[in-house]
Structure 1
Amino acid sequence: MLKPVDTEKSLTSPPNPPFVEGGFRGYMTVFGAFFALFAAFGQSMAFGIFQLWYSQNQLVDYTASDISWIGSVQLWVFFFSGSFVGRLFDAYGPTWLLASGTVILTFSLMMTSLASTYYALILAQGVVFGIGFGLLFFPSMSATATHFMKYRATALGVAVAGSSVGGVVFPIMLQRLFNTVGFGWAVRISAFVCLACGVIATATVSSRLPTRKPGPWVDVSSLKDANYALFVLGSAISCFGIFVPMYYIVQYAEGSHVSQTVASGALSVMNAGSVFGRIVPSIAADLIGRYNTLFPSTVLMAIFTLALWLHAHDLATIMTYSVFYGFFSGSWFALQTSCIAQISRMEKIGVRMGMAYSLVSFPALVGEPIAGAILARDNGNYTGLIVFTGVSLLLGSLVTLAVKLRINSSLLAKV
């Protein structure tokens, strides 16, 4: 006997198209997402260069903690926008969000190139950049996740590797341009690069899922999922420390009697290590498990920070630490979305990812200023800052392990 068709439901909620792993649209989405993250995340990961420049030029009278608030506000706005952008992604898809993000990110950099006061930089490079960052990042990652299932971690890893490649290119480019054409034109040139990347992303990124009526701003049912709640908690604790080396490694290297040009190279080396860290562990994650890869990566970040950075007093050790930290931090960033997707239904990936980033925005906001305050309290001695970073990462990894153990126990219960 045929079942009656719910006409209203069929009109308002079209069925998802048959799933095809990757395909042309899927690979083009990875391609476009790579460029979106190259521009947005890559530019953000170059903030260590700005931190050093501001401390010696526009903001010479401000402390390291004060200056780091610019980057922290940028990260907070980016992370916090996640739930809002995720909801818009569900309703409208990625194209208009990416186009808006491209315009806003480019505008923010143009305004940064003209800014000369602390509050102007907070507004332009912090708030406005963070909005553009979120509009480029979240639709790109959510759209990529919809095209892949078996090789989702690999696809997301390749896409997010764009941020590390950008993190290599932008510090080198900005450092050289600062010294040749000046701060204003250096930032404007980087804005044009970001504009071109955003146009490519807008033209190529697509979602496999049809647009649908967005859910509530806060998905309370997700917060009741213990695995999801614990995963977000672990990521939040890690976010207290994970960006600290990226913000302070250049300043640390210069304080270790390394020239400014070579010191800026430490950040590029860190981001170069992150390129491989976002791809190789992602491939491994599809073979041995996402959480089986994420947990040791976070632990090793903590170990190398406490064991190596704490004793890095020469160029060789600083660069060695930069490579290893870059590799394992790249793995952490690459696996966040795939780990969330593993414990979520397909149609909830966008909203859950956005909500997770919104929740971790608060530790991301205060982590670097706390590290800067510790540095100021210790009169420029980095020991406290490094311990703060390592302990945050270690505690975050232990909470992530709890999620893995819960998943294992639920699988055993079904056997």
Structure 2
Amino acid sequence: MPSTSDHDVPHALEPVDTEKPPPPPPPFVEGGLRGYMTIFGAFFALFAAFGQSMAFGSFQLWYSQNQLVEYTASDISWIGSVQLWVFFVSGGVVGRLFDAYGPTWLLASGTIILTFSLMMTSLATKYYEFILAQGIVFGIGFGLLFFPSMSATATHFMKYRATALGIAVAGSSVGGVVFPIMLQQLFDKVGFGWAVRISAFVCLACGVIATALVSSRLPKRKPGPWIDVSSLKDVNYAIFVLGSAVTCLGIFVPMYYIVQYAQEYHISQSLAFGVLSIMNAGSVFGRIAPSIMADRIGRFNTLIPSTALMGIFTLALWLHAHDLATITTYSVFYGFFSGSWFAMQTSCIAQISRMDKIGVRMGMAYSLVSFPALVGEPIAGAILTRDNASYTGMIVFTGVSLLLGSLITLVVKLRINRSLLAKV
């Protein structure tokens, strides 16, 4: 049930617009050739950008044993956290630009910047160089590929929007399977530098495909304000963003630390890298199957249990996973339900937003959750260091964050419809 709070804002608070109103979008057609091409292009964009980011656990382990051996796990995790923060915080800017100009030139820019960042990472040797190249510059390219792809896909679908977005975002999980395996093999065979350069060329090819195929059905229009005040006054939207922010404190922790955790229990490096790929493989199914189900039982009805089950499996299973079989089992379940969470975010934002505000609302949401995403992994690393390499405190922090995030999001569903069984 869409939120109507956008229409409740007093007209006196709205700026007077003497410009000619933008042309209306063409009559809506569910999917169509352009819609299906956009899903295909978005899949490749997320394969490159999000897939590479989800493989950071591979870099975390490599850096701890090679270039950054003198740094703590918390120090190294700041590289990935800065990457995520820049990606998230860019959403407000990129979403506004998407609403005004469409996806094509944003995707082209993102492809160039992402490729450049990986090339610079391959040459880096010092901590600050990794922060700049793999953290800041990569995060910018990541945002320029992710937000236009997801927003554009949402404009082509209504009835099957969750399914379409789930298929598109599954590209990130496929990339999360491929890149750790590829990097682990290439690190040993051609060395760090060429391994990262080869992954850069893969990302370049994917970005070119995305730029050529992704389109939006909405007409270009005059850029709106940088901050959409009416959206911030929408209580459902504000609570949803708060729930996502709390979830982001913990959701990336297993992806960053599962490889290092596996090695703590004397699992070989190749199998430890494989655990991360298994987690991302579970995420592939988690992004598609729940998305198809969400169009039938409700997007919030899918998102909320998925978030809660991430927390439950983290506390009940990861806390007691001390061998390869148990760690692998946890990785499969966590990957599946985290994939569902990522797939449902855009669908839920779109459900409580007008179509012409999907881009800016999605961008603002990611910008606002960027701060917990920035500090979540370093907090986990600091807890690990404080506890003398005992993972118990870190795992409890992760699980509690996820459970609390699910409870806050439940408030939005109950505000839309108080019946727990209602399709929302």
Q: Same fold (TM over 0.5)?
A: yes
1:14 aligns with 2:17: no
Q: 1:57 to 1:232 in 2, by over 3 A?
A: same
The amino acid that maps onto 2:178 is V
1:268 aligns with 2:283: no
1:5 maps to none
1:257 maps to 266
Measure how far apart 1:12 and its partner are: 4.5
Number of residue equivalences: 405
Any idea what the Cα deviations from partners look like across 1:13-72, whole Å, max 9, x if unmatched? 111100000000000000000000000000000000000000000000000000000000
1:4 maps to none
Q: 1:57 to 1:207 in 2, by over 3 A?
A: same
The amino acid that maps onto 1:193 is V
1:113 maps to 122
For 1:266 and 1:214, the matched residues in 2 are separated by 44
Matches within 5 A, 1:280-299: 280-299=289-308
Choose the corresponding residue for 1:397, options 371, 396, 406: 406
The amino acid that maps onto 2:387 is D
Choose the corresponding residue for 1:100, options 84, 109, 122: 109
Any idea what the Cα deviations from partners look like across 1:103-150, whole Å, max 9, x if unmatched? 000000000000000000000000000000000000000000000000
Choose the corresponding residue for 2:75, options 66, 72, 97: 66
Any idea what the Cα deviations from partners look like across 1:165-219, whole Å, max 9, x if unmatched? 0000000000000000000000000000000000000000000000111211111
Choose the corresponding residue for 1:364, options 365, 373, 377: 373
For 2:233 and 2:18, the matched residues in 1 are separated by 27
Gaps of 5+ in 1: 1-7
2:352 maps to 343
Measure how far apart 1:222 and its partner are: 0.6
SS class of match (1:150): coil
The amino acid that maps onto 2:258 is I
Gaps of 5+ in 2: 1-16
Any idea what the Cα deviations from partners look like across 1:293-341, whole Å, max 9, x if unmatched? 0010001000000000000000000000000000000000000000000
Any idea what the Cα deviations from partners look like across 1:359-391, whole Å, max 9, x if unmatched? 000000000000000000000000000000000
Choose the corresponding residue for 2:187, options 168, 178, 186: 178
The amino acid that maps onto 2:88 is F
Measure how far apart 1:240 and its partner are: 0.2
1:55 aligns with 2:64: yes
Choose the corresponding residue for 1:408, options 398, 401, 417: 417
1:127 maps to 136
For 1:411 and 1:113, the matched residues in 2 are separated by 51
Choose the corresponding residue for 2:91, options 82, 102, 111: 82
Instruction: Give the percent of matched residue pairs that are identical in Structure 1 and Structure 2.
Output: 86
Matches within 5 A, 1:132-281: 132-281=141-290
For normalisation by structure 2, the TM-score amounts to 0.94
Q: Is contact 2:163-2:295 (8 Å) kept?
A: yes
For normalisation by structure 1, the TM-score amounts to 0.96
For 1:220 and 1:387, the matched residues in 2 are separated by 36
The amino acid that maps onto 2:229 is V
For 2:74 and 2:162, the matched residues in 1 are separated by 35
For 2:222 and 2:419, the matched residues in 1 are separated by 32
SS class of match (1:329): helix
Any idea what the Cα deviations from partners look like across 1:224-279, whole Å, max 9, x if unmatched? 11100000000000000000000000000000110010011110000000000000
Measure how far apart 1:220 and its partner are: 1.0
Measure how far apart 1:409 and its partner are: 3.9
For 2:249 and 2:21, the matched residues in 1 are separated by 42
Measure how far apart 1:411 and its partner are: 12
Moved over 6 A (4+): none
For 1:34 and 1:258, the matched residues in 2 are separated by 32
